[in-house]
Chain A
């Protein structure tokens, strides 16, 4: 019996294991109560009217025009409904912005992890260069910021216990941030239908106490952070031939570029975020920098998503202070 109770407990009160999950639950249960009262009221009225005014019952039905039309009654029930709706809209919107556009944590420490979704697995790159498939290890209390992309179709990164979800798109970087507050293993699901083994695209987020996590990192350590790998790739793919210091070709300088506005040949400006860097490598004609000729070749289908994330990390590291950009 106790086991059965636990089962229901888990379904009705699923694990709440991130810094925002408690706030989401509070909103959820507030709405359950409010809506439950409305449902109870309507069902009660249906029952009462159904019995009292059944055909042939002796209840009084003295006629009045107000039985068919009553403006004040209509206004009277519209206003509380509207007010309640606006209240829950506002509550939900504020929390949503906080979850999907989160502030940098007070200590300024975020752990940046790259995520690549593909049919049908999750691949992770840690800042130390460690790679994982389907499972993601993180430390309790440490804020993690994911930079996510897909190698093929749309996927969606969903960890129910953290109350977070974000679609993962091909050729695009989306981001997601969370701070785990509970040690344990939490299900990771792909939530956007992605073909044959969609339901097999699952994994776990493993939250460890910080000291254990350090031990895990040490055991898995390998040479080369994404930035270091990116620097090697920068030479290997010939990027340094034009963008390097000693180059004779006129190409934009990449030092200090990340996060800055870039004026475009076509007019307008764009912010040099990760998406911009990625587009410039894969679709170089999309944003030509003002004052430069469109001579950069496309590297489409030549660089893997893993290497692209490393190159982006390297170029990002050429700008000393990281702004709060994706």
Chain B
């Protein structure tokens, strides 16, 4: 008897209070959104093969990159790891039988789906062409798209984040098994905890901003439009006050996953555990103080720009520390290169490049050139796709046997990891050069000298599509045909590996007692 065969029928899934089944609801929905956003990106990359805007109309092109951004940010990246693996694993890692608030957990999924439906309605009812950033006064007074419906969708989905965040925070505080002290927690839990803090503190600011945007657009009350006495820079401040920390909502869980995977596949305790835990908290804290680095040429005071630049450099220090600590974890390990490890190593390499190019755009004089060019596009895709999605794939493969009770086909998974890594670099590395040479982002047609690199980029996007479709196929295949997995197929440490795969409905027959630190790879499980 496990959580999968504990009940059948639609009702047993749609009304479930089991955190593991809620995780499945999220898995299925965000996979749908991922491929929807991916389809939009495919059209964008197809259009950009030629300099002239010839495949799509300008309007359709603008709608496609907006759809891509909105869906990927709010309906895939933000929920991704927390809502799926976080939901599934947090109680298991804490030695608990469920979340602190199982009903709230299910509610947050329904809120998420409601927001998703609103956004899809917006797309069908006329499209949205503001970009995911909704800059005013374009979004409030000039765009003809269904801005209100899309903004309402994003507003609603924000509450899903907040509810998930509250649930994780309370669960981590109150549901830890006896003996599981804070410094015995897996880093994955630390990462989920810090992410939840950001979700709870930053998301309300976005909600309020979207309400103000809606009020201005619907009733013409001047808040951001200067023609009505408003201030468009105020919108930028409020938007980035949420949206910069949102980058860490995406990134911190990824760091948590990678720490688990590296420790397991190097079969060694993580190096500098406390430094790793505190650097997660430091990133979460500093992440709130750097939003102005999106506005170096916006017209905000240039001395504010100097302060934001300094703070942005400082937030890079804990990120650098994490990379060094992962490297040191590999030193004198017993490394094996299964697919989760390949994805995790990809994460380190791509996150390193994404982070260092982030330092380029944090450098004030360089950002004058790079702001709103493809350099920025490449930089944040290295962080969010190269970093975050690679970590998502690492985690998905790592815990797949635990979640489904089946092993995935290892050879195909390694092939997929390699295709994704190669395709990703081919897609996005040329964009650094394009941006430095001056190609602005969100351009439907572009100058001819930029064509060659755009062709590379589109070819890479084709590889990426293969690399992401492959796991969809073999993971579904493995649900029926994969070999049965034992409780601990990786010889890993952590409470989730002490129960059967898939776990029983109540997780633990008896609440475990914890008497040692996380990652005790030098002692048997």
Contacts and interface: CB of A to CB of B under 8 A. Distances in A.
B201 interface: no
Contact of B321 (A24, A59, A74): A74
B334 A53 contact: yes
Contacts of B345: 46, 50
A193 B334 CA distance: 50
Contact of A97 (B273, B306, B446): B306
A170 B62 CA distance: 22
Contact of A170 (B137, B314, B336, B368): B137
Interface stretch (A135-143, A150-158, A235-243, A315-323): A150-158
Contacts of A27: 363, 365-366
A198 B444 contact: yes
Given A46-B345, A53-B332, A93 B364 contact: yes
B99 to A, nearest CB: 32
Most A C-beta atoms less than 10 A away, residue of B272, B368, B372, B445: B368
Contacts of A228: none
B313 A11 contact: no
Contacts of A190: 440
Given A11-B437, A38-B356, A46-B345, A163 B305 contact: no
B404 to A, nearest CB: 25
Interface residues of B, number: 95
B332 A61 contact: yes
Contacts of A28: 360, 366, 369, 436
Interface stretch (A62-70, A213-221, A245-253, A256-264): A62-70
Contacts, number: 260
A53 B331 contact: yes
State which size class the interface on A falls in. Answer: 35 or more
A172 interface: yes
Interface string B313-352: 1101100110111011011111111000000010011001
A35 B320 CA distance: 12
Contact of B359 (A60, A88, A160): A88
Contacts of B325: 74
Q: Give the secondary structure class of B's interface.
A: helix
A49 B348 CA distance: 14
Contact of A92 (B332, B363, B445, B446): B363
B369 A46 contact: no
Contact of A195 (B142, B333, B360, B440): B142
Given A24-B368, A61-B332, A154 B232 contact: yes
Interface string A30-48: 0100010011001101100
Which residue of B323, B328, B336 has the most chain A CB atoms within 10 A of its CB atom?
B328
Contacts of A133: none
Given A54-B336, A193-B62, 12 more contacts: A11-B436, A12-B433, A24-B369, A38-B352, A39-B353, A67-B271, A70-B328, A74-B275, A85-B314, A89-B313, A170-B225, A195-B143
8 contacts: A11-B437, A49-B331, A85-B359, A169-B226, A191-B372, A191-B440, A193-B372, A198-B62
